[in-house]
């Protein structure tokens, strides 16, 4: 066993949060994940906003052998995740080598990966059937053709919807990675994207499609940074990004979509490389506050409101962000808002 492989397992183990678990398609087991980052590996083109090396902090792509040596050290089943590249765009033999490496993990392990909608075909999906694939995540970004063109995504909304349909029809769980704040994108177009995905899901189980919501950030050394510097793109401010993510989360929950994550995984390299955009390590928590308060105000526009004490942080966290949002939405003074809230016992 190579020393590098042992070092890699130690590194990956430190990256796996206790809460990073999924409910599998085949059972009620919840497996911790072990991620491998294939930074921009086989991506068919470079999107204007993308710089995976800066986002993940990983520049070296692990080989299939490296993955295999890491996985044989595990003692319990894991969900093996290949992120950061376009997995199904890999050459067939290399893709098979990675998937065969997954089979060396403890029995009961699963694999999920992210990929590009252009690299979903019936032949590729058929080739995945021998492997324990828990989910195929597609980088959807937007379903607005104008936005897709500006972002150099290389496909149309029709192709993206077709790719999603093919994944579902082949019996796989689908993950849709959506974005907010892209060039040419509006808040309403993001919500419309969500409704199109809901229509595609149709009468299937709600858990058959899950979502991630990512903010568009301006990173160093990207075409988007050049657009911003020329005045051709205006990134979202943090508060606007939180509001849009919160609205999308609210609509997603209303439509019955499980949301896996809001915001990017924070790394030192990401923090160093962000030039502009709604970047905050607690973006997801603040977006959840927006969604929660939207629900509260729908149920009672001016209160009184009774909430569970477990939800206090959604109101008072981050300098009372939730309470301030309530005050803005209702037009009531912050002091009045606080008197109209009752906290139920745990």
Complete DSSP assignment for 15-28: H--TT-EEE-SSSS
Q: 189, 179 in Cβ contact below 8 A?
A: no
pLDDT at 58: 54
> Which range marks the domain in which residue 70 is found?
3-299
> Which region among 2-6, 242-246, 285-289 has the lowest average model confidence (pLDDT)?
2-6
74 half-sphere exposure, CB direction, 13 A CA radius: 27
- pLDDT digits 0-9 by tens, 328-338: 999 999 999 99
Phi, psi at residue 176, to the nearest 5°? -110, 120
Spatial distance between the Cα atoms of 269 and 214, rounded to a whole number of angstroms: 17
The percentage of the chain sitting over the pLDDT mark of 90, rounded to a whole number, equals 76
- Three-state DSSP at 68 gives helix
Residue 260's pLDDT band, with cuts at 50, 70 and 90, is: very high
pLDDT at 54: 52
Within this chain, do residues 80 and 28 fall inside the same structural domain, yes or no? yes
Within this chain, do residues 267 and 152 fall inside the same structural domain, yes or no? yes
Residue 5's pLDDT band, with cuts at 50, 70 and 90, is: very low
User: What total number of domains does the chain contain?
Assistant: 2
Does residue 180 or residue 221 have the better pLDDT?
180
Within this chain, do residues 98 and 18 fall inside the same structural domain, yes or no? yes
Within this chain, do residues 306 and 244 fall inside the same structural domain, yes or no? no
Which are the contacts of 88, defined by CB distance < 8 A and separation ≥ 6?
95, 113, 115, 116, 119, 120, 124, 136
Q: DSSP character for 204?
A: S
Within this chain, do residues 311 and 259 fall inside the same structural domain, yes or no? no
Within this chain, do residues 210 and 342 fall inside the same structural domain, yes or no? no
Pairing of strands 209-215, 259-262: parallel
Quick one: which of 92, 115, 140 has its CA closest to 38?
115
Within this chain, do residues 295 and 305 fall inside the same structural domain, yes or no? no
The CATH number that applies at residue 140 is 3.20.20.70
Within this chain, do residues 281 and 333 fall inside the same structural domain, yes or no? no
pLDDT at 46: 75
Which are the contacts of 219, defined by CB distance < 8 A and separation ≥ 6?
49, 50, 51, 54, 55, 225, 273, 274, 275
Spatial distance between the Cα atoms of 305 and 76, rounded to a whole number of angstroms: 45
* Token digits of residue 43: 């991506």
Within this chain, do residues 189 and 320 fall inside the same structural domain, yes or no? no
Spatial distance between the Cα atoms of 270 and 221, rounded to a whole number of angstroms: 12
- pLDDT digits 0-9 by tens, 106-127: 999 999 999 999 999 999 999 9
Within this chain, do residues 226 and 310 fall inside the same structural domain, yes or no? no
Within this chain, do residues 277 and 342 fall inside the same structural domain, yes or no? no
pLDDT at 99 over 80: yes
pLDDT at 15: 32
Other residues' Cβ atoms within 10 Å of the Cβ of residue 10 = 11
- pLDDT digits 0-9 by tens, 208-244: 999 999 999 999 989 999 999 999 999 999 999 999 9
Cα-Cα-Cα-Cα dihedral sign, residues 234, 240, 242, 243: negative
- Three-state DSSP at 302 gives coil
Within this chain, do residues 322 and 279 fall inside the same structural domain, yes or no? no
pLDDT at 55: 54
220 half-sphere exposure, CB direction, 13 A CA radius: 8
> Which region among 51-55, 191-195, 337-341 has the lowest average model confidence (pLDDT)?
51-55
Q: At what angle do helices 238-254 and 187-201 cross, to 10 degrees?
A: 20
- pLDDT digits 0-9 by tens, 39-97: 766 676 678 998 755 555 556 789 999 999 999 999 999 999 999 889 999 999 999 99
């Amino acid at each position: 066993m190579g020393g590098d492989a042992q070092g890699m397992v130690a590194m990956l183990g430190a990256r796996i949060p206790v809460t990073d678990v999924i409910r599998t398609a085949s059972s009620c087991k919840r497996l911790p994940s072990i991620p491998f980052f294939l930074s921009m590996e086989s991506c068919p083109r470079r999107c204007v906003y993308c710089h995976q090396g800066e986002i993940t902090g990983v520049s070296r792509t692990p080989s299939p052998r490296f993955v295999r040596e890491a996985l044989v050290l595990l003692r319990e089943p894991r969900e093996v995740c290949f992120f950061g590249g376009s997995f199904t765009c890999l050459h067939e033999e290399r893709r098979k080598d990675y998937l065969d490496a997954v089979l060396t993990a403890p029995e009961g392990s699963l694999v999920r990966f992210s990929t590009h909608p252009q690299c979903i075909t019936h032949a590729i999906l058929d080739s995945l059937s021998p492997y324990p694939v828990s989910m195929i995540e597609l980088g959807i970004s937007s379903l607005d053709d104008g936005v897709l063109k500006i972002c150099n995504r290389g496909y149309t909304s029709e192709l993206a919807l077709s790719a999603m349909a093919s994944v579902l029809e082949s019996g796989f769980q689908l993950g849709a990675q959506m974005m907010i704040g892209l060039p040419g994108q509006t808040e309403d177009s993001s919500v419309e994207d969500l409704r199109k995905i809901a229509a595609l899901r149709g009468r299937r189980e709600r858990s058959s499609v899950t979502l991630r919501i990512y903010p568009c950030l301006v990173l160093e050394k990207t075409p988007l940074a050049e657009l911003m510097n020329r005045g051709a793109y205006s990134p979202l401010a943090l508060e606007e990004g939180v509001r849009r993510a919160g609205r999308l989360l609210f609509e997603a929950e209303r439509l019955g979509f499980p949301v896996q994550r809001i915001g990017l995984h924070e790394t030192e390299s990401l923090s160093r490389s962000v030039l502009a955009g709604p970047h905050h390590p607690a973006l997801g928590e603040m977006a959840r506050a927006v969604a929660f308060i939207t629900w509260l105000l729908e149920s009672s526009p001016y209160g009184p409101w009774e909430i569970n004490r477990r939800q206090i942080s959604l109101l008072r966290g981050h300098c009372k962000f939730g309470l301030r949002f309530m005050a803005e939405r209702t037009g009531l003074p912050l002091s009045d808002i606080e008197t109209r809230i009752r906290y139920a016992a745990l």
